[in-house]
Amino acid sequence: MLDARKWDARYGWDLLAEHAARFDSYIAVTSPSAWAVVERFFPVPPQHLEFQQGMGKEYLDVLLPRVPDADLVLGIGGGNALDVAKIVAWKSGKPLILIPTIVSTGSIFQPLTAIRRTDTWDFQDVVSPEYVLFDYGVIRSADPRFNRAGMGECICNLANVGAWKWWDAQGLGGPAWDENAAQTTIDWVEHRAAAFSADLDEDGQPGETGIRIAAEVNRERYDLPTWHEELRHGTDHLFVTAFEWVHGREVLHSEGVALGTLISNFVYDWRFEEAKTLLESCGVAFRPRDIGCTIAEVHEVVARINELNDRLGHPKNWFHHQNLDDTTFNQIMAEIDS
């Protein structure tokens, strides 16, 4: 896997205007809302302006042949824009620059992309950018919700710890429980969440410190002792992946991860209230009504969660060994909603 810990990340005010003045031959992969924010910084228009349409294989297959030649590919916006840009740069062999306009996605420090096929998802380790550009002014012009959501990518690491503890207690194999390793991850989550929440202004928007935290947790996590495949029995990211697969539409990724984290911590009976408190302190939405889905949709995802899990060959989880009855599901939703 390409090492995102080594990517060149540039933070500052007015960075986009400074860098955009140098771009005279480029393809911009973005969204209408993101382009409306940044267009004024580009004195030279793009060779091709692509408003991304998601990571579906059929779309990507027809996109690549119609993209013209240019010296550079820019990914501007949120997770899908950045990931589509990675695919375009990878397939065309062109250098890539990522310009996040929000910090709500792990895509800012993740070389893996997930191409959506009808039956499953195809994960590809594609390309590293020349650099990732974080312009504080651009990011702070976004809806604060989209910047706070990024802390779901930090707090979700509690789900890995709780799942590991349960897995070992059940004698299901894998690495033996290590209290010190678990505490390292817990301390990291709590410290990052506290520093982020302390930096929120009266509008709930993170400042320079919070933006950097929400971004950097996405590569700091690679060094956590609980961040490797054998310990990933939680349902945090699996939930949001399965939601899109089951329903054919997306919720904001990090908010779906936050909901999946709470479901995971509840079924594994581990620090549910702490995870919920940390999400609330960071202003991360997680209740179904607040992230744009229904309880019925959540129920269907939980019922089918391992269909996609097993097709992807991911580690088994609680739902392989226990049945979630309707009474318990309703209890989970009530605790999340309270």
Residue ranges of domains in the chain: 4-140, 144-337
Angle between helices 208-220 and 179-198 (to 10 degrees): 160
CATH architecture of 144-337: Up-down Bundle (1.20)
Instruction: Indicate the average pLDDT of the chain.
Output: 94
Contacts of 207 (CB under 8 A, 6+ apart): 136, 140, 199, 200, 201
Q: What is the per-residue pLDDT across 48-71, written as a single tens digit (0 to 9) for each? A: 999 998 888 888 889 989 899 999
Task: Judge contact between 155 and 284, C-beta under 8 A.
Answer: yes
Which of these ranges, 127-136, 159-168, 226-235, 316-325, has the smallest mean pLDDT?
A: 226-235
Given a cut of 80, is residue 112 above it in pLDDT? no
Which band of pLDDT confidence, cut at 50, 70 and 90, is reported for residue 257?
very high
Give the domain 4-140 fold. Rossmann fold (3.40.50)
Angle between helices 157-169 and 272-281 (to 10 degrees): 180
Which has the closest alpha carbon to 205: 254, 137, 287? 137
Given a cut of 60, is residue 1 above it in pLDDT? no
Which of these ranges, 41-50, 75-84, 115-124, 193-202, has the smallest mean pLDDT?
A: 115-124
Q: For residues 134, 136, 139 and 145, what is the CA-based torsion angle, rounded to 10 degrees?
A: 120
CA separation for the pair 287, 251 (Å, rounded) = 12
Q: What is the model's pLDDT at position 127?
A: 87
Given a cut of 90, is residue 117 above it in pLDDT? no
Which of these ranges, 15-19, 115-119, 150-154, 267-271, has the smallest mean pLDDT?
A: 115-119
Q: What is the per-residue pLDDT across 192-239, written as a single tens digit (0 to 9) for each? A: 999 999 999 999 999 999 999 999 999 999 999 998 878 889 999 999
CA separation for the pair 314, 166 (Å, rounded) = 18
Q: Between 237 and 123, name the one with better pLDDT.
A: 237
Give the Å distances, CA to CA, from 246 to 253, 254, 305.
Answer: 15, 18, 9
Q: What is the model's pLDDT at position 114?
A: 80
Q: What is the model's pLDDT at position 116?
A: 82
Indicate the residue type of 271.
R
Q: What is the model's pLDDT at position 267?
A: 97
Which band of pLDDT confidence, cut at 50, 70 and 90, is reported for residue 3?
confident
What does the chain come to in residues?
A: 338
Given a cut of 60, is residue 11 above it in pLDDT? yes
Q: Between 308 and 27, name the one with better pLDDT.
A: 27
Given a cut of 80, is residue 304 above it in pLDDT? yes
Give the Å distances, CA to CA, from 36 to 6, 40, 101.
Answer: 31, 8, 11
Q: What is the model's pLDDT at position 229?
A: 77
CA separation for the pair 242, 251 (Å, rounded) = 11
Residue 272 CA to its chain's centroid (Å): 21
Rounded (5°) CA angle 23-103-203: 115
Indicate the residue type of 102.
I
Given a cut of 80, is residue 119 above it in pLDDT? no
Q: How many percent of the chain have pLDDT more than 90?
A: 83
Give the Å distances, CA to CA, from 129 to 22, 73, 183, 293.
Answer: 17, 9, 33, 34
